[in-house]
Each structure stands twice: as C-alpha cells, then as structure tokens.
Amino acid sequence: MRLAEMEAIALNIGLAVFAAFIFFIIYDLAKKSNAGRFGTFILFFALGLGLAAFLVKTVVVEMMGGSV
C-alpha cells in the first residue's frame, strides 16, 4: 500500500471520528443544559449544519476534480 492510499484512509477515518465527537459534544451540551426534546433537536440542527457544510464542501470539491 502506498503512502497516498494510507493517508486517504487515515483522513476518512479521522473525519468520521471527528464527526462522531462533534455529535457527542452537541449531545452533552443538550444534556447538561436540560434542553428538552425540541431544544436538543434545535441544537443538533443548528450546530450540525456547520459540520454538514464542511462535509458538503469536501464532496463538491472532489466532484469538481480539483484540490483546494
């Protein structure tokens, strides 16, 4: 396995771990603030949009075939 392939695999695993950690942080924030169901939904929606935008940007750049 070449170094570039290992780096690509490590990047994908790292991003998945990062996303899971972000969702854990949002859940912990909702739990500690006693947000309730609706408040928890709003937290996941609003704070999750930042993560979603980051992931969408990565996919769009890859689809365009360029690297930024």
3-state secondary structure of 16: helix
pLDDT of residue 14: 92
Q: Which two tokens stand for residue 43?
A: 């937290």
In this predicted structure, the answer to whether residue 68 has a pLDDT above a threshold of 60 is: no
pLDDT of residue 61: 85
Contacts of 48 (CB under 8 A, 6+ apart): 22, 23, 26
